[in-house]
Chains A and B, each alone.
Chain A
Amino acid sequence: MAARPLSEVSVGDVVGPVTVPVSRETLVGYANASGDQNPIHQDEAFARSVGLPDVIAHGMWTMGASATVVTDWAGDAGRVVEFGTRFTKPVIVPTAGNELVVQGVVKAVDAETGRVTVDVTTTCEGEKVLGRCIAVVRLD
């Protein structure tokens, strides 16, 4: 892959939508890779014991999976210079799994610095799970 040329990017360009499946195995993999072993992300009985409806995804997994949609669009995962979000709603992961839909819109392009601002919308079962999710990538 190579980074997307800045000259090919305009305000209003759409990123995705990409459907991202999530399973219990996904969360075990993320727990091991991230070091976040909170049992609410792996153990259904524990999750229910603390008042959750079922196992929930790590907010940081949801953020990371959303980042992947942006980096795939940018063509080079090292081009993300800023990425931020609020975690507004948990992603519930029953034994059958679930899925996210991740979509972005280019909100600003700075031709001088190469900074491209992408507003990211991530939904699960039709509801937004991230708030104010904004990525800035630097392109040439």
Chain B
Amino acid sequence: MPVNPDFVGRTYPPSGPYAVDAALIAAFAAAVGSADPVHTDAEAARAAGYADVIAPPTMAVRFSQAAERAYVVDPEAGIDYSRVVHGEQRFVHHRPITAGDQVLGTTTVDSVRSAGGHSMVTTRTELSTSEGDALTTSTSTIVVRGGEE
């Protein structure tokens, strides 16, 4: 089944809140090899001007992909997840994701295109805190590979 183009423009209700804590941030920082103390030392983070330890810049994906899941698994959307590869990812950060944040993610389907037998699906997820602070705009393009040759 092809990816359903009728979903373009659709916005899903906010998903979350996802709690951000120091342990989660430390684990992500270790996983991407970042030893910057702003991820692990609250004093160092405060000295740099942050309220508490902050997430590495690509950790936003943990929350944006969680928010996108409602769309990706929607049977009407026509996305065969076993055929999905990540094509492109972009983040615009409004402020760093910080320990203590409760993150909400709101996903909009920006485009569905076909090329060379594959479908390219671009979603935009706005991450904010439950208090309404803008955190990150995450734009992701997945490629749904076409059927068996």
Task: Give A residues with C-beta under 8 Å from B.
Answer: 1-3, 20, 26, 29-30, 32-36, 50, 59-61, 63-65, 67-68, 71-72, 76-78, 80-87
Contact B88 A86 (CB under 8 A): yes
Query: What number of B residues sit within 8 Å (CB to CB) of A?
Result: 39
The 3 A-B residue pairs whose C-beta atoms are closest, nearest first, are A84-B90, A64-B32, A80-B57
> Which listed residue, B27, B32, B48, B88, touches A32 by the CB 8 Å rule?
B27
Chain B residue numbers with a CB within 8 Å of A3 are 48
Task: Give B residues with C-beta under 8 Å from A.
Answer: 24, 27-39, 44, 48-50, 54, 56-59, 61-62, 65-66, 82, 85-93, 96, 139
Q: What's the minimum C-beta distance from A6 to chain B, rounded to whole angstroms?
A: 16
Contact B48 A76 (CB under 8 A): yes
14 interchain pairs, CB-CB under 8 A: A20-B33, A32-B27, A33-B24, A33-B31, A35-B62, A35-B65, A50-B82, A64-B32, A68-B32, A76-B36, A81-B93, A82-B90, A84-B89, A85-B88
Q: What's the minimum C-beta distance from B135 to chain A, rounded to whole angstroms?
A: 12
Contact B57 A60 (CB under 8 A): no
Contact B31 A60 (CB under 8 A): no
Contact A68 B34 (CB under 8 A): yes
CB-nearest residue of chain A relative to B95? A78
CB-nearest residue of chain A relative to B45? A78
Most A CB contacts (10 A, CB to CB) among B62, B87, B89, B92 go to B89
Q: What's the minimum C-beta distance from A139 to chain B, rounded to whole angstroms?
A: 13
Q: What's the minimum C-beta distance from B28 to chain A, rounded to whole angstroms?
A: 4
